Amino acid sequence: MRIVPIPCLSDNYAYLLVCRETKEAAIIDASEAGPVLGAIDQGAGTQDSRRDLASLANHNREDVRIVAILSTHHHHDHVGGNEEVRSKLGIDRVYGHASDRGRIPGQTQYLQENETFEIGRLKVRVLHIPGHTLGAVAYVVTHEPDDPVVFTGDTLLIGGCGRLFEGDPPMMSESLSKLAALDPRTKVYCGHEYTESNLRFAAHVEPSNAAIAQARAKASQLRKEGRTTMGATIADELSYNPFLRTSSPEIRRTLGIPDSASPAEALGAIRKAKDAFKIGA
Ligand SMILES: [Zn+2]
């Protein structure tokens, strides 16, 4: 499989997911039509997506057939391009959670937990991960012998998690647990380039964690080169993401979370501290 990040708006990502064998492809989160259509037609975008698209061209880019849009949740910065992209490319499948009916423009497929479908020969499995919104889903994509990938929208972010707009901490805690339990090699592609500010907060709450310093250095280098920080693995995230590390004694000490607090209570406290630390994410 091949994944092409397409930068949209100020810090969103849409993605092109391509099955190299069949040349069928899907767009994950058609955030806005212009950059998505531009990336597909002309190879516009960041250095990263230009390079990826150039190499896509080597794999018969002209033959790539976009067959579906996969929406992670209903927020406008993730579905704003659905209608235009769908009509311009003649796409007849638009996926989203069943409970997002009426909130995802152009939706035709109403997904439930663990439902599966295919993009070419890529197998896609749906995880319902409420918290950021009630209808949030993750798309887990597998194709041997490639490493699996997961598109997490605004639920699990690299180094962080999304704000709790519609759900509560126990809900988000359960959703993040599902993602944490994926194959540790699974690569994470999320909805926003918030990695550096997320890791700043991670370092603040767990200063002695060497994995955070390492991740910050890597993210800073990638951003300097104009590249995305996407594609960190679940194993990476477990080593530095404070929202997956609610039992860390250092995080609990920093934020005054008692030992007796449940993972969900700790997550709520970490989320509250992050909201106060910096607006965003
Ligand atoms: Zn969102």
Question: Which amino acid is present at 196?
Answer: E
pLDDT band at 44 (very low <50, low <70, confident <90, very high): very low
Cα(126) to ligand 1 centroid in Å equals 18
Active site residue 204: no
- The predicted-structure confidence for 142-187, as pLDDT tens digits, reads as follows 999 999 999 999 999 999 999 999 999 999 999 999 999 999 999 9
The rounded Å distance from CA 216 to ligand 1 centre is 24
pLDDT for 217 beyond 90? yes
Q: Give the pLDDT confidence of 104-151 residue by residue, as tens digits.
A: 999 999 999 999 999 999 999 999 999 999 999 999 999 999 999 999
How far does residue 114's CA lie from ligand 1's centre (Å)? 21
Would residue 218 be called left, alpha or beta, if left means φ above 0 and alpha means ψ between -120 and 50 degrees? Answer: alpha
Predicted TM-score (pTM) of the model is 0.93
Work out the pLDDT band at 39, boundaries 50, 70, 90.
confident
Structure tokens at 69: 């849009």
- Tally Cβ neighbours within 10 Å of residue 200: 15
Between 118 and 60, residue with greater pLDDT: 118
146 is a catalytic site residue: no
CA 210 to centroid of ligand 1, rounded, Å: 30
Residues in the chain: 281
75 an active-site residue? yes
Q: Which of 48, 52, 74, 78 is catalytic?
A: 78
Under a CB-based contact definition with an 8 Å cutoff, are residues 172 and 267 in contact? yes
Which listed residue (29, 48, 73, 97) is catalytic?
Answer: 73
